[in-house]
Chains A and B, each alone.
Chain A
Amino acid sequence: MRSDGRASRWLRLAAFGGLAFLHVPLLIIVLYAFTTEDKTYQFPPPGLTLHWFEVAWSRADIREALWLSLQVAASATAAALVLGTMAAAAMARARFFGREAVTLAMILPIALPGIVTGIALLSAIKLAEVEPSFWTIVTGHATFCVVVVYNNALARFRRIPRSLIEASMDLGADGFQTFRYVVLPQLATALLAGGMLAFALSFDEIIVTTFTAGHERTLPIWFMNELFRPRDRPVTNVVAVAVILVTAVPILLAYRATRDDADAGGRNG
C-alpha cells in the first residue's frame, strides 16, 4: 500500500477524517463557551462574549465542586501510587502461587464496565451501612486508579537491571537505602506518568462516582445535573473547557515523562 499513491490518498482522507471526528466536537464546546445565546444550542452563535467565564468564576457551586474533585483526584492518586507501586514491586520479581489471580484482581476494575464497579461498591456500602462520603468516592476511584500506576511501575521495574540493585547492596546500602537512592530515582518518571494518568482518570470520572458520592457533588456530578437541568448553558461549556485543560495537562506531562525515559533507556542499554 505504501507504493500506491491513490490508495494512500484515500487512507490519508480516512485517517485524518477520523481524527477530525475525534476532535471537532471539542472545538465546538470551546466555541459555545463564548456564545451570547444561552437558551438553545443555536448554530452559528448569534454573537461572541467573554461574559460566561466571569459568571462561572463567581458561582460558588462550581468552585466547590471543582475543589472537591481536585481533592478526590489527589487522594485517589496518592492511594493508587502507594498500592500500585507496592504491588508492582512484588509482581516484578517474584514467582509465586496465585500470581495470575492477583493480576486478574488488579485489572478487573477496568475490564468490567464502570457501572458494575459502581453498583458493587454501592451494594457494599449499603450492606456495611456506611454513609457515602468523600472517602467512599476516593475508595471507588483508587480502585480503578491503582491499575494505571501498577502498569506503569511494573514496566519500569522490569527494565531496572538486577545488577544495579545488587551493586547498591554490595556497596553497603541496606534495602531501604537501595530503594531510596537507586530504585526510586529509576522509578520516578514512571510513577509520575502513572500518577498523572490516575489523576486525569479520577478527575472526570462520573459512572462510579454517581454510586459512591451520596450527597457530595464532584465536578462531573455537577456537570451531569447541568445536562438535565441547564441553567446558563454557556457556563456549562466554560466548565467543560476547564475540565479539558485540567485533564489534558497531566496527560501531556505523563506522555513526556515516559517518552524521555524511553530515549534514555535506549541509550543506556
Chain B
Amino acid sequence: MNAAPAFDSTPPRRGGIGRRLSNLLYRRSGLLLLLLLLPPLAWFGIVYLGSLFALLLQSFYTFNDFTGQIERVLTLDTYVALFSAPAHIDIVLRTLAMAVAVTLACALIGFPIAYFMAFHARGRMKAAMYLAVMLPLWSSYLVRVYAWRLLLAKEGIVAWVCAQLGLGGVLEAVLATPLVGGPTLSSSYLGMFLVFTYVWLPFMILPVQAALERVPGSLLQASADLGARPRQTFAHVVLPLAFPGVVAGSIFTFSLTLGDYIIPGVVGTPGFFIGQMVYVQQGTAGNVPLAAAFSVVPVLLIAAYLALARRLGAFDAL
C-alpha cells in the first residue's frame, strides 16, 4: 500500500432490494424478530395448538350409538361416560400402574449404566457407550418392539434358554401367577413390562448420565477423604445429585408408557390400555369424542407428574 492511500470519498450507498430490506430490518429489530418468529409460531399456533384445541373440542362432542354420527353439540356427556364406566377406570389404573412399574425398572437398570459412563468410562469406551445408548433412543422404535415378539414367542429364544437351563418349570410357574402371567410370555403383563422397560430405557440413562457428569470427581474424593465409606458417599453425595436426572428421565418413561398403544397391541393381554382405547375408539368404533376424552387423561396425569417433578428440581437436568 502507498503512503497516501486513495480513500473513497463517497460513503458506499448501494440500493439493491436485499440491501434495502437489510437496512429496514436493521433499523427495526423488532420487525426482524417478528419475521423470524412468525412462520414457526404460525405453524405451532395453527397446526399444533389448533389441533390440541380441536381435540379438546371433540371431547366435548358426543357420539350417537344408534346413528353412528358425531353430534356437534357441546356437552359433558362423553366425560360422564368415560368416568362412570368401571371398565374405563380399570383401563386408566392399569395404564398408570404399568407406567409406574416401568419407570422404576428403568431407573434401577439405567442407573448403573449411567454411573459407569459418568465415572468409569473414558475416551473411546465412553463415546462407544454413549452411542450405544443414543442409537436406540433416536431410532427403530417399531423394530425394537418387534424384536421382543421374536424373543418372547412360544418357541422363541427366551423359552429355549429356559428349557436349556432346565428352568422350563419356573417359566410356567411365573406364567401361571395371576396378575403378571398369561398364556404365553408374549401375551402377559410380564412380557409387556419387559418390552416397555426395554424400549424406554435409553430415555432414563441419558438424563441420569448428564446429571452424574456434573458431579465433579473431586467431590467423591472429598467425601472419601472425610472418612465416608463408599456406601455412605453414594447415599449422601451421589444419589442426591443424581436425583434430578432420575426424575427428568422418569418424565419420559412415564409419559411414553401412558400414551403408547403399539406395545400393548403387539405384546398384549386382553385388558386394554389408554393408548389402545384411544386408537380403537377413533378407528374401528369411530367414536372420536370418546377417543379424544380418553387422550385428555394422560395429558392430565402428565401435567400432575410434571408439577411434581418441577418441585423436585428435575428441569435443571434436562
Contacts and interface: CB of A to CB of B under 8 A. Distances in A.
Interface of A: 1-4, 7-8, 11-12, 14-15, 18-19, 21-23, 25-26, 28-29, 32, 40-44, 82-84, 86-87, 89-90, 94, 96, 102, 105-106, 108-109, 111-117, 119-124, 126-128, 139, 142-143, 146, 172, 174-176, 197, 200-201, 203-207, 210-211, 220, 223-224, 227-228, 236, 240, 243-244, 247-248, 251-252, 255, 259
B83 interface: no
A199 to B, nearest CB: 10
A207 B122 CA distance: 37
Given A120-B51, A204-B139, A87 B155 contact: no
B41 A113 contact: no
A243 to B, nearest CB: 5
A115 B299 CA distance: 10
A251 B143 contact: no
Interface string B288-306: 1001100100110010001
A178 to B, nearest CB: 9
Interface in B49-72: 49-52, 54-55, 57-58
A105 B53 CA distance: 13
Contact of A41 (B50, B155, B202): B155
Nearest to B50: A124
B22 A175 contact: yes
Candidate in A12, A41, A228 with the most chain B CB atoms within 10 angstroms: A41
A2 B22 contact: no
Contact of A94 (B33, B55, B141, B155): B33
A42 B163 CA distance: 13
Interface of B: 12, 18-19, 21-23, 25-26, 29, 32-33, 36-37, 39-41, 43-45, 47-52, 54-55, 57-58, 109-110, 112-113, 115-117, 119-120, 127, 129-136, 138-144, 146-151, 153-157, 159-160, 198, 201-202, 205, 217, 220, 224, 230, 233-234, 238, 251, 255-256, 258-262, 265-266, 275, 278-279, 282, 288, 291-292, 295, 298-299, 302, 306
A121 B116 CA distance: 41
Given A29-B150, A204-B141, A11 B23 contact: no
A228 B159 CA distance: 21
11 contacts: A1-B238, A11-B115, A14-B113, A25-B198, A86-B36, A112-B299, A116-B52, A174-B22, A203-B139, A223-B143, A243-B139
A107 B123 CA distance: 32
Chain B, interface SS category: helix
A14 B37 contact: no
Contact of A204 (B143, B150, B292): B143
Contacts of B275: 113, 115
A98 B213 CA distance: 33
A127 B136 CA distance: 36
A120 B32 CA distance: 32
Given A119-B278, A220-B142, A1 B155 contact: no
Contacts of B58: 123, 126-127
A122 B22 CA distance: 41
B150 A40 contact: no
Given A174-B18, A207-B262, A115 B147 contact: no
Contacts of A174: 18-19, 22-23, 26
Top 5 closest pairs, chain A to chain B, by CB:
A113-B259, A247-B139, A14-B112, A15-B116, A25-B147
B39 A82 contact: yes
